[in-house]
Amino acid sequence: DTGVSQNPRHKITKRGQNVTFRCDPISEHNRLYWYRQTLGQGPEFLTYFQNEAQLEKSRLLSDRFSAERPKGSFSTLEIQRTEQGDSAMYLCASSPTDRGVYGYTFGSGTRLTVV
Amino acid sequence: GEDVEQSLFLSVREGDSSVINCTYTDSSSTYLYWYKQEPGAGLQLLTYIFSNMDMKQDQRLTVLLNKKDKHLSLRIADTQTGDSAIYFCAEDFGNEKLTFGTGTRLTIIP
């Protein structure tokens, strides 16, 4: 297992375009999380999945954002009609249900720049 | 609500000890974690402490937890240039997500 994989690593898009990011978690992990990190800040929670079910969404996740995890494996995060304020690092993490001493395992992130 | 605070910057001479501090408001956490983030990378779990512990040592890392003052610290002994990074504390309140601090940027002075 190569850990949590995120693609692409970098994405530059024009304002108003749609973008989609992919996350492949550790295969044994049934929980998958999306976080957003802006410059100089810690990661902020966006949403998480238990298997294919999306169990919680932050108020940060406006109706332009949608996340899916169709078969309980990989996940996608789509942002529609991107705005400059969406520029950030989008981090994916996975964990077992009983996280305990293991915390999350993070991917390297997708850095989004909206121009 | 849940709020986790850290000082933004710390500079330490190579070979000295680094102490990174974190304060939090909600005392119902079960686990508390320390993560390290190097430039352009994701977060790497360094260590954890269970909320009923006062101290945990793991090689060069020592975590201290003062539940009364809601204060968590990470001590790095014999700080090396490879320790330069941003360090985040994070709390697990048992509500399914972790809450992160703002991060402390550790700079090593040769």
* A42-53 as b/e: b if 16+ CB within 10 A: bbbbbbbbeeee
Instruction: For residue range A61-96, list pLDDT tens digits in order.
Output: 889 999 999 988 999 999 999 999 999 999 999 998
Say how far apart CA A51 and CA A30 lie, in whole Å.
5
> What does the block give as tokens for B5?
């605070």
State the smallest CA–CA distance between residue B83 and chain A in angstroms. 18
Contact between chains at B45 and A103 (C-beta distance less than 8 A)? yes
Say which of A4, A103, A106 has its CB closest to residue B48.
A103
pLDDT in tens, B58-108: 999 999 999 889 999 999 999 999 999 999 999 887 667 888 999 999 999
**B96, A107: Cβ pair inside 8 Å?**
no
The residue of chain A nearest to residue B9, with distances taken between CA atoms, is A40
Contacts of A44 in chain B (CB under 8 A): 100
On the question of pLDDT at A1 being above 70, the answer is no
Amino acid at A91: L
User: Tens of pLDDT along A6-36?
Assistant: 999 999 999 999 999 999 999 989 999 999 9
The predicted pLDDT at position B1 comes to 53
pLDDT of residue B95: 62
Minimum Cα–Cα distance from B43: chain A residue: A106
Q: How is residue B99 annotated by DSSP?
A: E
d(C-alpha B42, C-alpha B40), whole Å: 7
Contact across the interface for A4 and B42, Cβ inside 8 Å: yes
Q: What tens digit of pLDDT does each residue of A99-108 get?
A: 777 788 999 9
- The token pair that represents A87 in the structure block: 């520029």
Please give, rounded to a whole number of angstroms, the shortest distance from the CA of B39 to a CA of chain A.
Answer: 10
Going by C-alpha positions, the residue among A97, A98, A91 that lies closest to residue A5 is A91
Percent of chain B, pLDDT > 70? Answer: 96
